[in-house]
Structure 1
Amino acid sequence: MTDSTDVAATTAPPTAKHTVVVPNSINMVSLLGPGDEHLGLIEQAFDADIHVRGNRITIEGQPSEIALAERLLEELVAIIRTGQGVTSETVERVLAMLRAETTERPADVLSLNILSNRGRSIRPKTLNQKRYVDSIDKHTITFGIGPAGTGKTYLAMAKAVQALQSKAVNRIILSRPAVEAGEKLGFLPGTLTEKIDPYLRPLYDALHDMIDPESIPKLLAAGTIEVAPLAFLRGRSLNDSFIVLDEAQNTT
């Protein structure tokens, strides 16, 4: 007598094939990258076979993977149409937003131009940065909370310069608490400016990215832009101003 063993049959998930036709106005090198660098990233990101012939991109795999790959290509095309270049970082950021299933279009997030200076544009690089910028537009006070290096101060300053250039405000106030010395700077050598300059240097550095360096001394001298420790702003009336308070967690 022989024991019979039931073997569960495994069925491969259904596959499909779809072809995306890239508009003739889109440069395929801009889309797929030099040496197909972007295409390589896309192939690694999806469990699908991708083939390119001319301006036709054929994707074969599971329907869900095909749909996501198509959306990625659509977003990259939309970004290129705005005149913005696509990089490997762009591909990765768009893919991350699509996988997060957000309501915002990645192309809208990454194509938002906050400020341009000397041929360089300042834009949000992540969805949360876009939401942060939108909050600054909509609300009188916005709190930016996050790890160092996530663009909180930089984007706020870009919005301040944008508001000044569009005449939405008359001046910019940039401040941070000089807590390293307890805001009692008398023991330090030099003039008042020399005493506080090290604490405010990050704000000056950001300003030089956003405004013609030759204009900054004039704006500072006229009081159109003011950079000062928080202690020196207490008790003042600051009307028609865009105020950026950096390191606000140290104000207590």
Structure 2
Amino acid sequence: MGFNTLTPPNSQDSVHETLLEFNDNRLLIDLCGEFDRNLAQIEHEIGVQIVRRGNVLSVMGAGVERGKAAATLQELYAKLEAGREIDAGAIDGMIRMGESASESGFPGDQIEMFNGGHVEIKTRKKLVEPRTAAQKSYVQNLFDNEMAFGIGPAGTGKTYLAVAVGVNMLINGNVDKIILSRPAVEAGERLGFLPGDLGEKVDPYMQPLYDALNDFVPAKQLAKMREDKTIEIAPLAFMRGRTLSRAFVVLDEAQNATTMQMKMFLTRLGEGSRMVITGDRSQVDLPRGQTSGLRDAERILAGVKKISFNYFTSKDVVRHPLVAAIIEAYEADEA
């Protein structure tokens, strides 16, 4: 490794200071970030002070926080040594994961276990890394189980990670196609009044799925895959009557599926397929008195082997920090 932990010259200082020496100044510049913004992020999130002196970083603060900051800096530097890039998201994820990272049973050529047990999912355009322990457990279950549920508030990466795993399985030959679906509940009976053909009518409701795919697959390749039906994006109603074999199938916004729609969707599972169902129980748009199929599925399928249920909370929100605060405020009001 290209870093060393030094002992401060004054033994009393060692109680409040940890010195880290980095051998490669070029990588150290990347570690610090432009105008030391990476250091500032670590200082803010962990509650320490970091001072750069040449190729040495001095981490000052209370014992636990100082140790966490030092470990984060060392892991990020090791990531740079391995040829990876780091950004605000990678730093946030490394801090959140902390010491909770552990070895995993992912397929070796599909998932990279990075220093400290961090997980990276390979896609065509980028490496995707879970940023919380719940996300990491969720990703593992997506690979280990033929059917997985991801349930929790907005911004926790449920759909994003599912699509990333789907792209990974497609490029590694584990499945032959990706099928992404959502209930178009918001449109209701008004769908026919929207301009354009059926595809243009439902496109606005499918946009979050397009956004995720665009992050993982180059535009030209994605257009070709959609043209030859290697990747399909369709409303839930279009699933009726189909048997989905060797496909990675994602149902997003599943809280807006009725009980009958959910049963119809789940029974589409064919040989060699994987199915992921994501939803947020607090955002049901069904008519009053209509039971959410997601809630029924939780109750009915609990305990069925090879079906995993993964739950997220506001602590797993990886969007703007204010999103987590908003979710917590609403949860407190409901309580």
Shorter-chain TM-score above 0.5: yes
CA contact (8 A) 1:173 1:225 kept: yes
Q: Distance in 1 between matches of 2:26 and 2:60?
A: 23
2:172 alignment partner in structure 1 = 166
2:15 alignment partner in structure 1 = 15
1:72 alignment partner in structure 2 = 72
**Could you report, residue by residue, the CA deviation over 1:94-132 in whole angstroms, capped at 9, with x for unpaired residues?**
33433xx52449955766143132xx4443333333322
**Could you report, residue by residue, the CA deviation over 1:50-88 in whole angstroms, capped at 9, with x for unpaired residues?**
554332334466544443333222222222223223335
* 156-165 vs 178-187, which moves further: 178-187
Q: Which amino acid aligns with 1:151?
A: G
CA contact (8 A) 1:185 1:195 kept: yes
**Could you report, residue by residue, the CA deviation over 1:121-164 in whole angstroms, capped at 9, with x for unpaired residues?**
44333333332222211111111112223322222112212211
Q: Which amino acid aligns with 2:213?
A: L
Shift of 1:17: 5.0
1:114 alignment partner in structure 2 = 122
* 24-33 vs 145-154, which moves further: 24-33
CA contact (8 A) 1:17 1:59 kept: yes
* 163-172 vs 195-204, which moves further: 195-204
CA contact (8 A) 1:15 1:60 kept: no
Show the 5 A alignment for 1:17-56. Answer: 17-24=17-24, 27-43=27-43, 45-46=46-47, 51-56=51-56
Shift of 1:197: 2.6
Cα 1:200–1:183 change in 2 (3 A) is: farther
Specify the SS of the correspondent of 2:147. coil
1:251 alignment partner in structure 2 = 257
Show the 5 A alignment for 1:89-238. Answer: 89-98=89-98, 101-104=99-102, 112-117=120-125, 120-182=126-188, 185-186=191-192, 188-238=194-244
Q: Distance in 1 between matches of 2:123 and 2:179?
A: 18
Cα 1:245–1:46 change in 2 (3 A) is: closer
Shift of 1:238: 0.8
TM-score norm. by structure 2 comes to 0.59
Shift of 1:18: 4.3
- Between structure 1 and structure 2, the one with the greater Rg is 1
Q: Distance in 1 between matches of 2:206 and 2:60?
A: 55
- Return 5+ residue gaps in structure 2 as ranges: 1-13, 104-113, 259-335
Specify the SS of the correspondent of 1:144. strand
1:240 alignment partner in structure 2 = 246
* 104-113 vs 89-98, which moves further: 104-113
Specify the SS of the correspondent of 1:84. coil
CA contact (8 A) 1:177 1:183 kept: no
Q: Distance in 2 between matches of 1:213 and 1:16?
A: 50
Q: How many residues align?
A: 235
CA contact (8 A) 1:174 1:227 kept: yes
TM-score norm. by structure 1 comes to 0.75
Shift of 1:242: 0.7
Q: Distance in 2 between matches of 1:110 and 1:140?
A: 23
Shift of 1:21: 2.5
Q: Distance in 1 between matches of 2:15 and 2:195?
A: 73
Shift of 1:89: 4.8
Shift of 1:31: 2.0
Cα 1:86–1:225 change in 2 (3 A) is: closer
CA-based RMSD of the aligned residues comes to 3.3
Q: Distance in 2 between matches of 1:41 and 1:188?
A: 45
Q: Distance in 2 between matches of 1:39 and 1:135?
A: 33
Cα 1:237–1:76 change in 2 (3 A) is: same
Specify the SS of the correspondent of 1:227. strand
Q: Which amino acid aligns with 2:149?
A: F
Q: Distance in 1 between matches of 2:193 and 2:16?
A: 74
Specify the SS of the correspondent of 2:151. coil
